[in-house]
Structure 1
Amino acid sequence: MLLIFRLEGESFGVSVDSVQEILDPQDPTPVPNADPFAYGLINVRGVVVPVIDVRRRLRMAPVDRKDTTRMIVLEHEIDGKMTKLAFSADAVDTVIEADLTALEKVPDLGASWPQSYLRGAIRRDDDLVVLLDTQTLFAPVMQSTAA
């Protein structure tokens, strides 16, 4: 099953297995010198959760919060440890059952999103849902150190 949400009018999906909850938007506490990808922290039921800028990773422009904006909190394995993280979506649509054997490759032409963050796309009625690859999308940016 997939949670379907919207960014810039496009439908994206992530597995509901990792989704913990969907919240009204919160203002993250900025983290000094943090990577812009993981720019702040929120408190989710007593747990400090990093906020990930999925829009930045997908090369989308920042947007102002709307009435439909929601924060999706999920649990994801990072460096072998289950970690809660959150990201904003312009809107959350629905949960659907999806046949992942029908996953199609997102064409390189026409898609402005980095292919490494996409698992593929599925058709849903007249819509195309892009399934995100959470393993690459939420992977920390590795900093190289110069000697």
Structure 2
Amino acid sequence: MTNNTGSLGAVDAAMALTFSLDGETFAVPVQHVREIIDPLPITDVPNADQVAPGLVNVRGAIAPFIDLRHRLGMRPAVLRETSRILVLELTLEGEMTTVAMLADDVDDITETTSADLETVPDLGVRWPTEFIKGVAKKDGALVILLDVQTAFAPKPSH
């Protein structure tokens, strides 16, 4: 990660991992990505919230499975040959937490600067805007940068 600071024209550049969900490209900052692995069995937790319906065993450590598709109001995932689990390390509610989520495909690592990000309009967006930090254009496509603190939090912060 590059962080250039100065008085005028300061640019913050950050590396982000892009992945696909339901045909859309999303991104999370790479510093939160611990690993990318093949899909694992999800153990359902009785009476769990649909956003965090179960647990996965990641190399002997139990991690909550976050259903980002449900949180974003998308249709349920269909496992594909390209599906991968992203294991993320985040500070949630003041504690370092490992979570897992299913992506349809993992695309690339890209650099995004604060100048690339545009705010998300309140109208015309399919997803709850509190989960989105901004939108960037990369190679003619839109990349939705997730706000990891709200998108993966146990309960949405409204």
TM range (shorter): over 0.9
Q: Who is 2:44 aligned against? A: 30
In the alignment, structure 1 residue 92 sits paired with structure 2 residue 106: yes
Secondary structure of 1:55's partner? helix
Q: Who is 2:8 aligned against? A: none
Q: Who is 1:126 aligned against? A: 140
Which 5+ residue runs of structure 1 have no aligned equivalent? 143-147
| Residues 127-146 of structure 1, C-alpha deviations (whole Å, 9 max, x = no match) | 1100000111111227xxxx
The alpha carbon displacement at 1:110 in A equals 2.4
Q: Who is 2:73 aligned against? A: 59
What CA distance in whole angstroms lies between the structure 1 residues aligned with 2:43 and 2:24? 28
Q: Who is 1:6 aligned against? A: 20
Q: Who is 1:40 aligned against? A: 54
What CA distance in whole angstroms lies between the structure 1 residues aligned with 2:52 and 2:25? 23
What CA distance in whole angstroms lies between the structure 1 residues aligned with 2:125 and 2:36? 27
Q: Sequence identity, in percent?
A: 49
Paired residues in the alignment total 142
What CA distance in whole angstroms lies between the structure 1 residues aligned with 2:150 and 2:68? 11
The alpha carbon displacement at 1:19 in A equals 0.3
Q: CA RMSD in A?
A: 1.1
Secondary structure of 2:31's partner? helix
The alpha carbon displacement at 1:30 in A equals 0.8
The alpha carbon displacement at 1:107 in A equals 2.2
What CA distance in whole angstroms lies between the structure 1 residues aligned with 2:39 and 2:141? 26
What CA distance in whole angstroms lies between the structure 2 residues aligned with 1:7 and 1:100? 23
Secondary structure of 1:97's partner? strand
In the alignment, structure 1 residue 108 sits paired with structure 2 residue 122: yes
Q: Who is 2:149 aligned against? A: 135
What CA distance in whole angstroms lies between the structure 1 residues aligned with 2:77 and 2:36? 19
What CA distance in whole angstroms lies between the structure 1 residues aligned with 2:105 and 2:123? 26
What CA distance in whole angstroms lies between the structure 2 residues aligned with 1:131 and 1:73? 17
Q: Who is 1:69 aligned against? A: 83
Greater share of residues in helix: 1
Amino acid of the structure 2 residue aligned with 1:125 = D
- Give the TM-score, by structure 1 length: 0.92
